[in-house]
Amino acid sequence: MTNIKKKIAEVAEKDKSKWLEKAKYRRENRDWLLKSKRIALRVLGVLKERGMQQKELAEQLGVSPQQVSKIVKGKENLTLETISKLEAVLGISLFELPKTQPTKTKKDYKNQIFNELYDRLLKDVLSNKSLKSDYLFESYNIKFSWEDLIKKDTFIDFKITDSKRSVVKDIEKEEWREPEKPKSNLRLVG
């Protein structure tokens, strides 16, 4: 240690800055503290907009002014009850949960694969082989999704001509990449 470091250590206070302990706490609780501070900023903004005092908010919430003071400091680990009360009293939304997305089933997956494949082939046939869509639908008749196929347990007939055979072969090839797909649902009629 250099002389100057020894000297400053002698002159300085023995107790460290309170910052270290506070920083440790803030690091450990960072996620909810950030949310609490964002809520505090929002609440303060609404109070300012409406010219409303913190005391009035406390009365409407049915809590002490000290409690509101803590809320607007963004140091409170707010309960869902308190957040809901704040939302109701101020008529604002403080946080929203994203709506649950339904989990994809195997059927959904097959449906998706089929539709993607269908779209790709349709595009390919229309652009490369100069076939009209009406004709394609009429002759290929593959408008059903896998879901429909499975539900109805129906067969689809592909009435193909030689010029379209290669496209149908592509469908066949893709079909084999998806093992769950019931093979019986497709039958080629040449």
Contact set with another protein (CB under 8 A): 1-5, 7-9, 11-13, 15-20, 22-24, 26-27, 30, 34, 37-38, 40-41, 44-45, 48, 72-74
What CA–CA distance (Å, rounded) separates 129 from 163?
8
Instruction: Write down the least CB distance from residue 6 to another protein, Å.
Output: 9
Task: Give the nearest distance from C-beta 82 to another protein in angstroms.
Answer: 16
From the CB of 175, what's the least distance to another protein, in Å? 51
Least separation in angstroms between residue 97's CB and another protein is 20
Nearest distance in Å: CB 62, another protein: 22
Q: What tokens were used for 129?
A: 């082989």
Residues 6+ away with beta carbon under 8 Å from 147: 107, 108, 110, 111
- DSSP letters, 61-101, are HTS-HHHHHHHTTT-----HHHHHHHHHHHT-----PPPPP
Residue closer to another protein, measured from CB, 11 or 97: 11
Task: State the DSSP code for 51.
Answer: T
What gap in Å lies between CA 130 and CA 134, rounded to an integer?
Answer: 12
Choice between 47 and 160, CB closer to another protein = 47
In the bound state with another protein, the residue whose beta carbon lies nearer, of 15 and 96, is 15
Closest Cα to residue 158, out of 140, 170, 144, 145? 140
Which residue, 11 or 80, has its beta carbon nearer to another protein? 11
Q: Is 132 exposed, middle or buried (0-12, 13-18, 19+ CB in 10 A)?
A: exposed
The nearer residue to another protein, 26 or 129, going by C-beta atoms, is 26
Min separation Cβ 50 and another protein, Å: 14
Between 18 and 143, CB nearer to another protein: 18
Query: What SS3 state is found at 124?
Result: helix
